[in-house]
A = this chain, B = another copy of it.
Amino acid sequence: MTATRTIEIHEAVLDKNRAIAEQNRALLATSNALAINLMSSPGSGKTSLLERTLTELSEAISIGVIVGDLATDNDGRRLGGRNAQVIQITTGDICHLDASMVGTALASFDPVPNLVFIENVGNMVCPAAFDLGERVRVALLSVTEGEDKPLKYPTLFRTADAVIVTKLDIAEVCEFDAEAARANIVATAPNAVTFWLSVRTGAGMEAWYQWLRDHVGERTAHGDAI
């Protein structure tokens, strides 16, 4: 069966990836850097969230962004001019970032920033299987996508340390059922912190900023705290 064969091959690729991810993790620890892997469906607002986050935090914290896309450097360009080091990776036909790609990007930072965002390829499935050496995994869920996505893409949400519900300003027009979404998030990711926000209006953004400040501060103060 093709399905089974795909899984077997996948395991070999994942084992190799895991070894490189450990090297990335060691480099990040040595550099006292916190890496955050942002994953979601295409168009959930990863780049918009980062635009506003860089504008808010990049004066106080040294920030780098590694951006993955199949094609175009649109996102990398959108994030430029905000006092952060931005590295765009185009993956061709590869549906996720892997640890090797991220390792190459980390090596080209000078110096390695204290906070490294990794904006993964827009895809709720494959990126979740690849450890990049990050300390924190964040899953974004836009109100436009429907309340059942945590149940339908369980690996992404089960491994997330934080879930961000985005585009809250258009929740009503999308007939988004916040209570159903909350129940599905809790069922799939019971230990994740959840942020409910709108990048456009700024509602809910302060809690996200403070969470980042706390985590970077902890890390700077205590080393490998997270």
The interface of chain A, by Cβ under 8 A from chain B, is 1-3, 5-7, 9, 13, 16-17, 20, 41-43, 69-72, 74, 91-95, 98-101, 121-126, 129, 142, 144-146, 148-149, 151-155, 167, 170, 173-174
Take A43-B146, A71-B154, A91-B3 as given contacts and tell me if A124 and B123 are in contact as well, using a CB distance cutoff of 8 Å: yes
Take A7-B93, A13-B5, A142-B43 as given contacts and tell me if A72 and B126 are in contact as well, using a CB distance cutoff of 8 Å: no
Take A70-B154, A71-B152 as given contacts and tell me if A13 and B7 are in contact as well, using a CB distance cutoff of 8 Å: no
Docked Cα-Cα span, A161 to B151, in Å, equals 31
Min C-beta distance of A2 to chain B, whole Å: 4
Which partner residue on chain B sits nearest A147 by CB separation?
Answer: B43
Residues of B contacting A170 in the complex (Cβ-Cβ under 8 angstroms): 144, 170, 173-174
Q: What would 6 more interface pairs be, CB under 8 Å, given A6-B13, A71-B151?
A: A42-B152, A43-B149, A93-B155, A95-B125, A123-B126, A170-B170
Docked Cα-Cα span, A155 to B3, in Å, equals 22
Which partner residue on chain B sits nearest A156 by CB separation?
Answer: B70
Which partner residue on chain B sits nearest A104 by CB separation?
Answer: B1
Can you list 16 A-B pairs with a CB-CB distance of less than 8 A?
A2-B17, A2-B99, A3-B92, A3-B94, A3-B100, A3-B101, A5-B13, A6-B94, A41-B42, A42-B152, A71-B153, A74-B152, A93-B125, A95-B95, A144-B167, A170-B170
Whether the pair A74, B148 counts as a contact (CB closer than 8 A) is: yes
Which partner residue on chain B sits nearest A169 by CB separation?
Answer: B173
Residues of B contacting A121 in the complex (Cβ-Cβ under 8 angstroms): 125
